[in-house]
């Protein structure tokens, strides 16, 4: 185990002890934990904004970025069609992706929306799909992902990102309910935060850099 992993493990143990401490200290420790998960890089003009279908409020953020003239195009990373969806298509039933329809309803023109298939839609599949697309179409990219997933998504993306393309900017939706300052107060965000923290620790253990 590297020194970095030891420091990470020690930090988690210290945070765990702080969580059990007096309320003011506990709140500070929990805010620190929330900050470990969340990344929200400065907003800059890019060529395309991307969202995965797993990120809550991603379509709201993409539509806002388009209306604010931050991005001229948007992309939705969509899971591969299921067997039922393939059968519907075979029978002549073609349904528009829900998130694409929502973007159009929010004022984003259909012609500026790009969809890219991303396997089962998980972190590995969606980052692979995005990195492959960017390698073929070099451009400045902004990725919208849920706050709790942001740091782990960026780490995964950095490992496979094409060297000749500027690093992706990682942002989270402004209306997502997860906030680092009070995430533990609601059952839903508390469960989400703890679940993603476990995944982030495992990611550091597998890729200690």
Contact call for residues 144 and 39 (beta carbons, < 8 A)? no
C-alpha of 66 from chain center: 18
> Which backbone phi and psi does 171 adopt, to 5 degrees?
-130, 160
Q: Long-range pairs for 198-206 at CB < 8 Å and ≥24 separation?
A: 199/152, 200/36, 200/37, 200/151, 200/152, 201/8, 201/12, 203/152, 203/155, 203/156, 204/4, 204/5, 204/8, 205/5
User: Which domains are assigned to the chain?
Assistant: 3-38+187-206 (no CATH), 48-171 (3.40.50.620)
Residue 22 confidence (pLDDT) = 47
Helix (H) or strand (E) holding 103: helix 98-105
Contact 168, 141 (CB under 8 A): yes
- Within 8 A by CB and 6+ apart from 156, the residues are 123, 124, 127, 203
Extract the tokens encoding 107.
């004022």
Answer yes or no: pTM beyond 0.85: no
* pLDDT at residue 14 is higher than 50: yes
Residue 77 parent element (H or E): strand 74-78
What's the mean per-residue pLDDT of the chain?
A: 86
- Six token digits for residue 88: 């519907």
For the cut 60, the answer to whether the pLDDT of residue 102 exceeds it is yes
For residue 145, what is the DSSP state?
-
- 21-70 per-position pLDDT tens digit: 546 657 777 888 888 889 899 998 899 999 986 667 889 999 999 999 99
Q: Tokens 């990195």 belong to which residue?
A: 131
- Beta carbons of 74 and 108 less than 8 angstroms apart: yes
pLDDT score, position 68: 92
């Amino acid at each position: 185990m590297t020194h970095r992993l030891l420091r990470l493990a020690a930090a988690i143990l210290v945070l765990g002890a702080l969580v059990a401490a007096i309320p003011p200290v506990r709140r500070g420790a929990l805010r620190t934990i929330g900050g470990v998960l969340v990344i929200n890089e400065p907003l800059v003009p890019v060529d395309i904004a991307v969202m995965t279908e797993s990120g809550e409020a991603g379509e709201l953020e993409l539509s806002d970025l388009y209306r604010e003239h931050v991005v001229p195009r948007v992309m939705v990373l969509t899971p591969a069609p299921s067997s039922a969806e393939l059968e519907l298509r075979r029978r002549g039933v073609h349904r528009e992706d829900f998130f694409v329809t929502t973007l159009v309803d929010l004022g984003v023109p259909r012609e500026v929306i790009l969809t890219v298939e991303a396997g089962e839609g998980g972190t590995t599949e969606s980052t692979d799909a995005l990195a492959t697309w960017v390698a073929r179409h070099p451009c400045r990219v902004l990725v919208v992902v849920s706050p709790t997933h942001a740091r782990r998504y960026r780490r995964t993306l950095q490992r496979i990102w094409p060297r000749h393309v500027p690093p992706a900017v990682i942002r989270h939706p402004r209306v997502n309910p997860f906030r680092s300052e009070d995430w533990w107060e609601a059952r839903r965000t508390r469960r989400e935060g703890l679940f993603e923290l476990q995944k982030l620790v495992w990611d550091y253990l597998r890729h200690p850099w």
